[in-house]
Amino acid sequence: MRDFGVVFFSNQSPWEIARLADRIVREVAGARVLGILYEQCPPRSLAENLRNLRRNLLDPAYYPYVAARTLRLLRRPLDKLGEALLRFAHAFPPRQSRPTDFGLEDLAQFSQARGCSLLATTDIHSPEALEYVRQLRADLGIVTGTPHLRPELFELPRLGSIKVHLHKLPDYRGAGPVGLWESLDDQEEISVTVHRVVAELDAGPILRAASAPIDAYDNLFSLALKATTVGNDLLLCTLADFIFGTVQETPQSGTARTFRAPAPHELARYERQIAKRRPPYRPPRTRPNWKLLLRTVPLVPLAMVRNWVCRFRKSFPVVIMYHHLITDRPHHLGLPTLLFHQQAEFLTKYYRVASLQEAMKMLEANRVEAPTVVLTFDDGYAENFVNLRAVAKATGIPVTLFVSTEHISTQRPFAHDVRKNQEGFPPFTWEQVCWLSRSGFEFGGHTRSHFDCASTDPIALEYEIVGCKTDLEERLGKPIRLFSFPWGMPGNMSRPAVELARATFAYIFDAAGGANLPSAQDKPWFLRRCPHPSSMWELELRLQGLLDLRRPGSLLPGMAPQPARS
What pLDDT, in 10s, does the model give residues 465-502? 999 999 999 999 999 999 999 999 999 999 999 999 99
pLDDT at residue 186, rounded to an integer: 57
Whether 451 has a pLDDT exceeding 80, the answer reads yes
CA 407 to chain centre: 24
Mean pLDDT value across the chain: 86
pLDDT at residue 279, rounded to an integer: 74
Nearest to 315 by CA among 278, 368, 351, 248: 368
Give residues with Cβ within 8 angstroms of 50, minimum separation 6: none
pLDDT at residue 566, rounded to an integer: 28
62-76, 196-210, 295-309, 368-382 — which is least confidently predicted?
Answer: 62-76
Q: Report the percent of the chain where pLDDT is more than 70.
A: 89
What are the respective helix, strand and coil percentages of the chain, to the nearest 5? 45, 15, 40
Q: Which residue has the higher pLDDT, 450 or 179?
A: 450
Q: Report the percent of the chain where pLDDT is more than 90.
A: 61
Please report how the helices 220-244 and 14-27 are oriented relative to each other, as an axis angle in degrees rounded to 10: 40
Q: What are φ and ψ of residue 339, in 5° steps? A: -65, -40
Q: Are 410 and 245 in contact (CB under 8 A)?
A: no
Whether 87 has a pLDDT exceeding 60, the answer reads yes
Give the chain's domains with CATH numbers. 1-41+101-159 (3.40.50.170), 54-89 (no CATH), 289-543 (3.20.20.370)
Number of H helices, E strands in the chain: 21, 18
Give residues with Cβ within 8 angstroms of 356, minimum separation 6: 320, 374, 376, 398, 400, 442, 444, 482, 507
What pLDDT, in 10s, does the model give residues 167-206? 444 333 334 444 454 555 556 778 888 999 998 877 889 9
